[in-house]
Amino acid sequence: MSNFHGEILRRWIFPYSYKLRGMDFTGTMEEALQNQRLDKDTIRALQFKKLKSLLQHAYSTVPFYKKQFNTAGIIPEDVKSFEDFSKIPSIT
């Protein structure tokens, strides 16, 4: 991708698409820039925290996912490590 196209994406398309979804592109980009300097263990902890938050959100707000998790006998509080994510049922 040419530098020109990268600039268009970074300055116009990404921010606008985030704005349409009610999200803050500047804050997200700032966080990404800060996170790239973190050590491996800190990044893994942050990834786990965000994945667990997404899991909790899906469980709390989407009846389909709540039913799938309950059928599998798992709730978000059961996930205490990355290995525990393997207990979550696959959805096709």
Q: What is the pLDDT along the chain (92 residues), one digit of tens a residue?
A: 567 777 777 777 877 787 788 877 777 778 888 888 899 999 999 999 999 999 999 999 999 999 999 999 999 999 999 999 888 888 88
Q: What is the pTM of this model?
A: 0.65
Tokens of 90: 């696959």
Cβ-count burial of 77 within 10 angstroms (0-12 exposed, 13-18 middle, 19+ buried)? exposed
Two tokens at 72? 């599998």
